[in-house]
Structure 1
Amino acid sequence: MSFARNLLNIIILLCVYLNRGFTEGAQERESGRVDYHTIQLSSLSPSSSCVPSSKEYDTKSSLRVVHKHGACSPLRSGKAVKLDRADILRRDQARVDSIHSKLTNNLEDRLTQTGLPVKDESKSKEDLGSGSYIVTIGIGTPTHNQPLIIDTGSDLTWTKCRQCGRSRRYISLACNSKNKDIFNPSSSTSFNTVSSTSRVCSDDIRSTDIPCSAYRCCYSIDYNDNSSSEGYLAEDKFTVTTADVFSGIHFGCSEKEANINDNTAGLLGLSSHVLSFPSQTANKYNNIFSYCFPSPDRTGHLTFGSTGISSSVKYTPIKSLPKTHLYGLDIVSITVGGKKLEIPSTVFSHPRAIIDSGTVITRLPPKAYAALRGAFKENMKNYTTASAVELLDTCYDPKGFDTMSVPKVSFSFGGGTTVELGLNGILYPLNASHVCLAFAGNDNDGDLAIFGSFQQMTLQVVYDTAGGRIGFAQNGCS
């Protein structure tokens, strides 16, 4: 009898324990504390259909953001989506090499332009830079819409210019090309050239490397693959929307490009330089802008001013970097699958980190990346490994699965701000049978860490330069 009573008590205790476990598991799922994402593998394939975001702000200060290779891109011209992800990775590494070289060699504080095509000569005529996202903004009177790459790592906004129709000596072959994106200054009644004696033509802009007449302020931007843009400083009317128009915006009028395809017209410079677009419109927008980078088949937004900023945004201080106008951050720690990685605090203390819209894949110090990769592999034991691709060395073949369970990844920044990456910011899909951890390690401990656009995807990212802070919020595009 005693044995039966004891057995019954054990069974009751076991049932209570199991029920508590199931209840806690259900509560954990309901409270959102599950430490993994479940990804439908079919969603990783490029789509041919564009899905507009519900958060395309219909305001006087917002531009639509699209992936330049995606289904919503105006560069497609009715053609099927072609997304060469391996080539994007090659061009991305070229950009990072340039950023590291510029900072390591302590180069002079001249115009920062960091969009870089790939070094391979056969690939060098791809779209400008590794930056993935574009907006269309109006220039001139009447307005001429220009598709420009968003670049927080570039100071000067520039677009391809061709003097057509003034006289025969100004006409170039490009004037007769089928590309209607090329801006013709002679057709704009509000266009003016900036002279070499203007205060705007400062030493960090003026180029003495190219022939230039006395009445023009010439610039020259050279990239590390022998591609370049040469032209002169000008000013004209910029139209964000029909209700928000700015006169006298300074920008680069590029007359000659080498090894740069004309699919995109140029760059929209969003750095903290005095000639960046946010700086030149600070009287209106208070040097504040925000964006959400969408997945390739959707749309996002670039919004100037404080319109549409989420009430849940958490901010971290901007850290200045000597002789650059890049946006510096303090990375404090990284969490994978709910567990904080054991990374010494000194790993991120020098030379700190930046956030960059033009770098695709986040770069980490070698020790930090090794810790992240090790924790990620531990959580991915159920999947077959695959070969490395370019800079991505932790890859998987999900063949045989409809879904993948991927550990969540969070970054903690200075000021106590923790940012959980979106579902799309962790795995980089090469194709249906090849996906990789979307992070890479730097070659040296002293190289700058970079928080790239892939990890920013679907987040609302807020740049409050006047307030000296950068903010993050979830679900920025939808």
Structure 2
Amino acid sequence: MSIMKNFLNVILLLCVCLSWCFTEGAEKKDDSYTFQVSSLFPSSSSCVLSSKASNSKSSVRVVHMHGACSHLRTNKDARLDHEEILRRDQARVESIRSKLSKNIADGSVSMTKSTELPAKDGSILGSANYIITVGIGTPKHDLSLVFDTGSDLTWTQCQPCLKSCYSQTEPIFNASSSSSYHNVPCSSQMCENAASCSDSKCLYEVLYGDNSFTQGFLAKERFTLANDVLDDVYFGCGENNQGLFNGAAGILGLGRDKLSIPSQTATTYNNIFSYCLPSSESNTGHLTFGSAGISNSVKFTPVSSFPSPSSYGIDIVGISVGDNELEITPTSFSRDGAIIDSGTVITRLPTKVYAELRSVFKEKMSSYKSTPGRSILDTCYDFTGLDTVTLPTIAFSMGGGTVVELDGMGILYPLTQSQVCLAFAGEDDIPAIFGNVQQKTMEIVYDVAGGRVGFAPNGCS
């Protein structure tokens, strides 16, 4: 009898373990998550390192630039400025709208004529961005760059700052001290869309949607990604830069155009990269180039056609909230389509789709006290005094039969304990955007050569 009892206890323990959510400390059922309220609010002073970034020689750590793991954050006890994050997130979305409308009006997918952007770079800049450390030059100069799937050209500030440079945490890169630095001549094919030339040297210019900009020389240099050394990487050496880059030294472009890092390193990494965005600002994730270490559980969806050479288009064909399937028709996303974007914070959905998602979510959260919204977030709750909360699951069905179920941390945006909001917003006249809150803890795989994007749970550990 005791043997049978022990056996049943083991089975019960196994069942509990199997029901554990992707997020540590969160119990998952078929259509809901239950987790500790405290897990929504990470420590402001301690950093929890993920081990995954050390498992591959081409993998680097990803940290939230405003979090405890970021050396760019000078005041470790400072709270996130959510108003500024959400304001700049909306500016990025409006920039995406402007960029795409100009591309469509021109009948092309190249640079907007009004800004004459060289290198076909994405003229969008995010707010709550994630950074990695990259070595540039010989000898290697470690710099923190924001990585962005919506941009192509990688750039960093360079000495001398002929006009102005914004304040960055690390010393500004000095090209004259690097033995591997070379300017790109105007005769190069890579310079065909350049803004201008100076002494036969190719110049570039990128203007972002919030009026930040970078100008300088298109150059080639040695890059060090983790333990991999890459020679003759095209990048922008910016000698005139202004904007709110939060102390980062520049941008790492992960778009689809020929000047992006994945395109330039295609022979080394087969045009494949993956990343995991950490569950909170106190944790780390990873950015990995190549297919090493990619989970066997990744499910892929095709990259759809989209009027931008930088963006990764996806087809959203269904959304469920708990056990409710939203009424999504083939025309729900047909006008503007959808993209996945590392730099947009809050997922944007067509207004009608969002209204239904919000309605179902509110119904399932009716036992919790509601509270006024903030900025673009209009569905918020007061969790003061609660130890645990239970959320309905949210899952996206995408082209190719792939179903992506969000991690519990990918559903809410916590402002304060008395104001925790649904991390979605409704907006028309733009593509739907699968933002970075919804991507948290998942392994996101970009098989650019194969024309597909993949998703798997537990990507940071």
For residue 115 of structure 1, report the CA deviation from its aligned partner: 3.6
Deviates more, 1:274-283 or 1:343-352: 343-352
1:321-350 deviations in Å (ceiling 9; x for gaps): 134321000001001012211222210222
Q: Which residue of 2 aligns with 1:465?
A: 448
Question: For the structure 1 residues 193 and 397, does the alpha-carbon distance in structure 2 shift closer, same or farther, using more than 3 Å as the test?
Answer: same
1:369-413 deviations in Å (ceiling 9; x for gaps): 011101100011011111111101111111231111111100010
Question: For the structure 1 residues 44 and 159, does the alpha-carbon distance in structure 2 shift closer, same or farther, using more than 3 Å as the test?
Answer: same
Q: Which residue of 2 aligns with 1:260?
A: 244
Checking the alignment, whether the CA contact within 8 Å between 2:168 and 2:246 is kept in structure 1 is: no
For residue 77 of structure 1, report the CA deviation from its aligned partner: 4.0
For residue 228 of structure 1, report the CA deviation from its aligned partner: 1.3
333, 340, 361: which is aligned to 1:376? 361
1:108-139 deviations in Å (ceiling 9; x for gaps): 512232443xxxxxxxxxxxx32520000000
- Which SS does the other structure have where 1:376 is aligned? helix
Checking the alignment, whether the CA contact within 8 Å between 1:131 and 1:151 is kept in structure 2 is: no
Question: For the structure 1 residues 312 and 365, does the alpha-carbon distance in structure 2 shift closer, same or farther, using more than 3 Å as the test?
Answer: same
Checking the alignment, whether the CA contact within 8 Å between 1:343 and 1:371 is kept in structure 2 is: no
In the alignment, does 2:32 pair up with 1:36?
yes
Q: Which residue of 1 aligns with 2:225?
A: 240
Q: Which residue of 1 aligns with 2:187?
A: 197
Gaps of 5+ in 2: 1-13, 20-27, 112-119
For residue 80 of structure 1, report the CA deviation from its aligned partner: 2.6
1:340-366 deviations in Å (ceiling 9; x for gaps): 112222102222100000101110011
Question: For the structure 1 residues 309 and 266, does the alpha-carbon distance in structure 2 shift closer, same or farther, using more than 3 Å as the test?
Answer: same
In the alignment, does 2:265 pair up with 1:281?
yes
The two structures have a TM-score, normalised by structure 1, of 0.85
Checking the alignment, whether the CA contact within 8 Å between 1:228 and 1:260 is kept in structure 2 is: no
Checking the alignment, whether the CA contact within 8 Å between 1:57 and 1:308 is kept in structure 2 is: no
373, 395, 417: which is aligned to 1:410? 395
For residue 74 of structure 1, report the CA deviation from its aligned partner: 1.8
What pairs with 1:116-131 in structure 2 (closer than 5 Å)?
116=125, 129-131=126-128
- The residue type paired with residue 392 of structure 1 is L
- The residue type paired with residue 397 of structure 1 is D
For residue 103 of structure 1, report the CA deviation from its aligned partner: 1.1
Checking the alignment, whether the CA contact within 8 Å between 1:46 and 1:81 is kept in structure 2 is: no
- Which SS does the other structure have where 1:358 is aligned? coil
Q: Which residue of 1 aligns with 2:170?
A: 180
Distance (Å, rounded) in 1 between the aligned partners of 2:304 and 2:164: 46
For residue 174 of structure 1, report the CA deviation from its aligned partner: 6.4
112, 121, 125: which is aligned to 1:112? 121
1:139-163 deviations in Å (ceiling 9; x for gaps): 0000001100010000100111113
For residue 458 of structure 1, report the CA deviation from its aligned partner: 0.3
Q: Which residue of 2 aligns with 1:94?
A: 91
- The residue type paired with residue 70 of structure 1 is G
Checking the alignment, whether the CA contact within 8 Å between 2:99 and 2:123 is kept in structure 1 is: no
Checking the alignment, whether the CA contact within 8 Å between 2:137 and 2:181 is kept in structure 1 is: yes
438, 456, 470: which is aligned to 2:439? 456
- The residue type paired with residue 451 of structure 1 is F
Checking the alignment, whether the CA contact within 8 Å between 2:164 and 2:241 is kept in structure 1 is: no
Question: For the structure 1 residues 293 and 199, does the alpha-carbon distance in structure 2 shift closer, same or farther, using more than 3 Å as the test?
Answer: same
Checking the alignment, whether the CA contact within 8 Å between 1:315 and 1:470 is kept in structure 2 is: yes
207, 220, 227: which is aligned to 2:195? 207
Checking the alignment, whether the CA contact within 8 Å between 1:156 and 1:268 is kept in structure 2 is: yes
Checking the alignment, whether the CA contact within 8 Å between 1:131 and 1:150 is kept in structure 2 is: no
Question: For the structure 1 residues 179 and 52, does the alpha-carbon distance in structure 2 shift closer, same or farther, using more than 3 Å as the test?
Answer: closer
Distance (Å, rounded) in 2 between the aligned partners of 1:362 and 1:424: 13
- Which SS does the other structure have where 2:362 is aligned? helix
- Which SS does the other structure have where 2:147 is aligned? strand
1:241-290 deviations in Å (ceiling 9; x for gaps): 23x10110000111111233561001000001100001101101000000
- Which SS does the other structure have where 1:385 is aligned? strand
Q: Which residue of 2 aligns with 1:336?
A: 321
Checking the alignment, whether the CA contact within 8 Å between 1:421 and 1:456 is kept in structure 2 is: yes
299, 315, 329: which is aligned to 1:314? 299
Checking the alignment, whether the CA contact within 8 Å between 1:272 and 1:326 is kept in structure 2 is: yes
Q: Which residue of 2 aligns with 1:136?
A: 133
Distance (Å, rounded) in 2 between the aligned partners of 1:207 and 1:392: 39
Look at both structures and tell me which one has the larger radius of gyration over its CA atoms: 1
- Which SS does the other structure have where 1:71 is aligned? coil
- Which SS does the other structure have where 2:244 is aligned? coil
Checking the alignment, whether the CA contact within 8 Å between 1:288 and 1:465 is kept in structure 2 is: yes
**Sequence identity of aligned pairs in percent?**
54
Checking the alignment, whether the CA contact within 8 Å between 1:343 and 1:367 is kept in structure 2 is: no
Distance (Å, rounded) in 2 between the aligned partners of 1:246 and 1:62: 14
In the alignment, does 2:425 pair up with 1:440?
yes
Checking the alignment, whether the CA contact within 8 Å between 1:115 and 1:131 is kept in structure 2 is: no
Distance (Å, rounded) in 2 between the aligned partners of 1:282 and 1:268: 16
- The residue type paired with residue 202 of structure 2 is C
Q: Which residue of 2 aligns with 1:21?
A: none
For residue 225 of structure 1, report the CA deviation from its aligned partner: 2.9
Distance (Å, rounded) in 1 between the aligned partners of 2:263 and 2:460: 25
Distance (Å, rounded) in 1 between the aligned partners of 2:123 and 2:344: 9
Distance (Å, rounded) in 2 between the aligned partners of 1:53 and 1:28: 24
- The residue type paired with residue 311 of structure 1 is N
How large is the Cα RMSD of the aligned pairs?
Answer: 2.3
Distance (Å, rounded) in 2 between the aligned partners of 1:477 and 1:179: 26
The two structures have a TM-score, normalised by structure 2, of 0.88
For residue 447 of structure 1, report the CA deviation from its aligned partner: 2.1
Distance (Å, rounded) in 2 between the aligned partners of 1:190 and 1:152: 27
For residue 27 of structure 1, report the CA deviation from its aligned partner: 8.0
Gaps of 5+ in 1: 1-25, 117-128, 164-169
For residue 173 of structure 1, report the CA deviation from its aligned partner: 8.1
Question: For the structure 1 residues 282 and 471, does the alpha-carbon distance in structure 2 shift closer, same or farther, using more than 3 Å as the test?
Answer: same
Distance (Å, rounded) in 2 between the aligned partners of 1:261 and 1:270: 17
- Which SS does the other structure have where 1:418 is aligned? strand
Q: Which residue of 1 aligns with 2:154?
A: 157
Checking the alignment, whether the CA contact within 8 Å between 1:131 and 1:149 is kept in structure 2 is: no
